[in-house]
Chain A
Amino acid sequence: MSSLSELYQNVILEHNRSPRNYRVMDDADGKAEGHNPLCGDQVTVWVRMDGDVIGDVSFRGAGCAISKASASLMTGAVKGKSREEAERLFARFHQLVTGTLPPGESETLGKLAVFSGVSEFPVRVKCASLSWHTLKAALEGRSGEQAVGRSGGHAVRESDGPVGKSDGVMGGPAGPTA
């Protein structure tokens, strides 16, 4: 398989065509907007908590196939998980797309493993992680802007996050706003 078909696996193309949970949520507890100033991608993520777990999560936005499919698969992956579980999953997902996940651990990511091809395309790491950064902001009820590091204009570093704007209310005990 060429690296291009590794990048655009069928599952990704299918989620790009028919994204799941692609809707506004009226009864959300948390909401955040993320955008990638480099390419103009924009996403809004809504979350509703059900006790300690994520009861519902949805998104809307405009972006490339990688960013849209990533948001769609993310919504399926985090529903029913606690905030800590979701954040641990994001950490492993980030390792996957940056090519730093220890060998043999990609199975723990389930369907999200289809994004392994992203690690061959460093400029696309931001596309794949935009919705995750935005979910994190929605869960933390973060307000204000998170600066974006633009190392060299294109290279993506661990510290690179989206510009997140959140009016969420989920600042839990582990959150920085607690």
Chain B
Amino acid sequence: MAKLMLPLLLIIGIALIVLLQFGFIFLLLAMLPSIVAFYIDHQPAKPAFKTVFSCNLAATLPSLVPMLAAGIKLRHYDTSAVLGNPGTWLIVYSGAAAGWCLIYLCRYVARFTVMLSYEYNIAVLESQQKRLIEEWGQQIKHPPGAG
């Protein structure tokens, strides 16, 4: 899979260069936070990168899609207006920042959920242990034959 990723990226890159032309530069600049996330996420499944990338791309899409549509229709699209608009960059990078925020916020939500689930499991197991003691006596705590 990893071996296929590079040729695939290359093909997608070439296709995007053909379609977007100058817009491709916008895409590269817009996706910079995702590229950084890719390199700083050392986990094998790269979950942080995937989250940041999804959010970053979601914020980039409104600006990117008109470029992509013009490219498909073989029409010229003026990318300098988009590149020069600080609002565009604010949205794009805010998307990436939202991705990072999600990562940190969800950790706390997950901790709460995991704690809740563990406590439930412990309660179930403890109740089973209690029933075992009721049925087999306190000696169940010791190996068979050890008094």
The reply to whether chain A is a binding partner of chain B is: no
